[in-house]
Every structure is written in structure tokens, then in C-alpha cells.
């Protein structure tokens, strides 16, 4: 029974600053890409 419940849509509130949660997720992943790029540049500059 509960397995079926798990597939029902939940009442999920909206995130701040973005129209949907996708925007928040892209912010986190974009931040990760930015940090890795920055760290790569730091590694190259100071090698």
C-alpha cells in the first residue's frame, strides 16, 4: 500500500529566487563547475 503512496505527487513548495526547483539544481551544479574550473586555474597558475 505504502509503495503506491510513494508514487503520488507531493505538495512541494516553490524555491526562492527561481520559478522552479530546476533553477536551484542548476545553481548548485553550476557552482560546482565554477569551483572545479577555478581550482584548475589555481593549480595551473601555482604549479
Partner 1 sequence: MRLLDWVVLLGTLGFIVSYGVWKTRGSKDIEGYLRGDNSMKWWTIGLSIMATQASAITFLSTPGQAYEDGMRFVQFYFGLPIAMVIISVTVIPIFYRLKVYTAYEYLESRFDLKTRSLAAFLFLVQRGLAAGITIYAPAIILSTILGWNLTATNLFIGVLVIIYTVSGGTKAVSVTQKQQMAVMMGGMLVAGFMVVRYLPDNVSFGDAVAVAGKMGKMNVVDFSFDWNDRYNFWSGMTGGLFLALSYFGTDQSQVARYLGGRSVGESRLGLLFNGLLKIPMQFLILFIGVMVFVFYQFNQPPLFFNEAAKTKVYATEFAPEMEALESQHTALFNQKQEAVQGLVSALRTEDEAAISAAQSKVQGITDASKELRTEVKSLIAKATPDAETKDTDYVFISFVMKYLPAGLVGLLLAVIFSAAMSSTASELNALASTSVIDIYRRSVKPDASNMHYVKASKTFTAIWGGIAIIFATYASLLDNLIQAVNIIGSIFYGTILGIFLVAFYFKYIKGNAVFFAALIAEAIVLYCHFYTDIAFLWFNVIGCVAVIVFGLLIQFALNQMDKGKQAA
Nearest partner of 18 among 27, 6, 31, judged by Cα = 27
Residue 13 or 19 with smaller CB distance to partner 1: 13
Find the distance separating the first CA and the last CA of the chain, reported in whole Å. 59
Binders of partner 1 among 7-46, rule CB under 8 A? 8, 10-16, 21, 24-25, 27-29, 31-32, 35-36, 39-40, 42-43, 45-46
Provide the CA 15 distance to its chain's centre, in angstroms: 12
State the minimum distance, in angstroms, from the CB of residue 24 to partner 1.
6
CB-based contact 20:14 (threshold 8 Å): yes
> Residue numbers of the site for partner 1 (CB under 8 A)?
1-3, 5-6, 8, 10-16, 21, 24-25, 27-29, 31-32, 35-36, 39-40, 42-43, 45-47
Amino acid at each position: 500500500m505504502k509503495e503506491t503512496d510513494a508514487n503520488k505527487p507531493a505538495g512541494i513548495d516553490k524555491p526562492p529566487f527561481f520559478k522552479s526547483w530546476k533553477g536551484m539544481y542548476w545553481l548548485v551544479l553550476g557552482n560546482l563547475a565554477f569551483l572545479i574550473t577555478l581550482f584548475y586555474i589555481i593549480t595551473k597558475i601555482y604549479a
